[in-house]
Amino acid sequence: MTATAADYTWFRERFSYLAEAYCFTLIRGLTSEELAARLGAQTDEFPGMTFEELVDSSFSGPGAYGTWDGHFFGAVPVGDWVLIVEPNGFLGVTKEAIVPLSAGTRLVSHFRNVNSVNYFYWVEDGDIRLFFEPLSPSPRYGSDPDGLVEIMQQVGFDLRSGGNHNLFIGAAFALAEHLTGIKVTPQLLEKSIYSCGVAPGSW
């Protein structure tokens, strides 16, 4: 049964602060260590973090105004996939990073920031199959921009009149679940211990 935007209303309700600025990325077949190696990320100085610690650390980096010199992230294995959580981050939708990161596998990511800039990527072995803005899903790009049109409508995207501002984040989660088979839940986020690191800011 296909998940829909309604299955993910909990994200905005339970994590309203995170729903304003986040990036979630799923990559198949990599360990957290392999992920860090592909990104050239520094991980040695970070202990495993809870979800609360991950969020707090995202806004309390060593630089001015609590910023990090690079992309701070947390990663946790979920079945055959690894989930990257970036509070207030955007590495997972940085094309220069995710195209090589997807080598030999599948990568799915979605992002939103405080200015409502929002992106969704599906990448297969370096090939961007689908890229669009969840709040305005009609313009679609990539090597297969229309291959998921029916599924996009089923999960909650309105391809005629544009996105529903209250549902587009949930629809992005549901489409990511369709492509990965991974259901993100509050329990998954809150009960996981994350391997953290900082990827170079040059990505």
Could you read off the pLDDT tens digit of each residue along the chain, which spans 203 residues?
789 999 999 999 999 999 999 999 999 999 988 999 999 999 987 889 999 999 999 988 776 556 778 999 999 999 999 999 999 999 999 999 999 999 999 999 999 999 999 999 999 999 999 999 999 999 999 999 999 999 999 999 988 865 566 789 999 999 999 999 999 999 999 999 999 999 998 76
Write down the pLDDT at residue 164.
Answer: 63
Q: In whole angstroms, what is the distance from residue 93 CA to residue 122 CA? A: 10
pTM of the model: 0.94
Write down the pLDDT at residue 163.
Answer: 56
Extract the tokens encoding 147: 């291959």
Write down the pLDDT at residue 96.
Answer: 96
Write down the pLDDT at residue 161.
Answer: 66
Write down the pLDDT at residue 200.
Answer: 93
Q: In whole angstroms, what is the distance from residue 62 CA to residue 85 CA? A: 19
Indicate the pairing of strand 71-78 with strand 195-199.
Answer: antiparallel
Give me the residue spans of the domains in the chain.
Answer: 5-195
Write down the pLDDT at residue 165.
Answer: 66
